Amino acid sequence: MAIRGTGASVFVTGTDTGVGKTLVSCAMLHRLRACGLRALGMKPVAAGVEATPEGPVNPDVVALRAASSWPAPLSQVNPYCFEPPVAPHLAAMAAGVRIEIAPILQAFQALAGTADAIVVEGVGGFLVPLNEREDAADMALALALPVVLVVGMRLGCLNHALLTQQAILARSLTLAGWIANSIDPQMARFDENLQALRERIAAPLLGVIRYRPMPDPASIELRLPHDF
């Protein structure tokens, strides 16, 4: 059964942790809102927190809520949040919690009932473990959303991007597009690496983000996969 409000929704994954998934997710939220859509960000699993008036909150979740059409309830935006900034299954074990996909789906459905589009940001890379049996790819599969891949442009990105593409397609998910995010200002042969990826990734390039120390997601120009 289709879930209301998911027509323009996407799952954002990356070639690794720290490659700009949150930046891209926030930029997509701004783009969706500029198109007149009610858009909400979601990060089902997060590790690492900062102090806020609402208590300890993951900084990526803070950014996603700020970029959304309104600040949806934390329990829906981020069902699983852990204090130590470590792999989520390890953080969960330390907290005596088992990450389950069913509560994530329930939270997503609650958000989708109020919005036109949900941008779901994954955790770490595409295959990061969630528990002893399931990983982030299983979460993406359960959500059944098209996937947008953020490629952190640095030495080694070709292998990481192509392996991630294989993993996405192996789960019979749609790779709706990819974004090249420059995270290493000293990367040699940036344009040649970009061209190599364009020739090998079987999905449209939605944007190229050049390196900036403090990028503003609202100013980033990218296309949405639903523009095609």
Are the C-beta atoms of residues 99 and 80 closer than 8 Å to each other?
yes
Are the C-beta atoms of residues 80 and 88 closer than 8 Å to each other?
yes
Residues 6+ apart with CB under 8 A from 114: 5, 38, 40, 72
Residue 3, pLDDT score: 34
CB atoms < 10 A from the CB of 152, how many?
22
Catalytic residue among 30, 43, 89, 154: 43
Cα 52 to the center of its chain, rounded Å: 22
Residue 5, pLDDT score: 42
Residues 6+ apart with CB under 8 A from 113: 4, 5
Are the C-beta atoms of residues 165 and 15 closer than 8 Å to each other?
no
Residue 110, pLDDT score: 97
- Name the CATH architecture for the domain at 10-227: 3-Layer(aba) Sandwich (3.40)
Asked about 43 being catalytic, the answer comes back as yes
SS3 (DSSP) at 224: coil
Residue 1, pLDDT score: 25
Residue 8, pLDDT score: 82
pLDDT by residue for the chain (228 residues), tens digit each? 233 345 689 999 999 999 999 999 999 999 999 999 999 999 999 999 999 999 999 999 999 999 999 999 999 999 999 999 999 999 999 999 999 999 999 999 999 999 999 999 999 999 999 999 999 999 999 999 999 999 999 999 999 999 999 999 999 999 999 999 999 999 999 999 999 999 999 999 999 999 998 899 999 999 998 643
Beta strand extents in the chain (DSSP E only): 10-14, 39-42, 45-47, 50-52, 55-57, 80-82, 117-121, 147-153, 175-182, 205-209
- In this prediction the pTM is 0.94
Question: What whole-number distance in Å separates Cα of residue 98 and Cα of residue 89?
Answer: 8
- The domain locations on the chain are 10-227
Residue 84, pLDDT score: 94
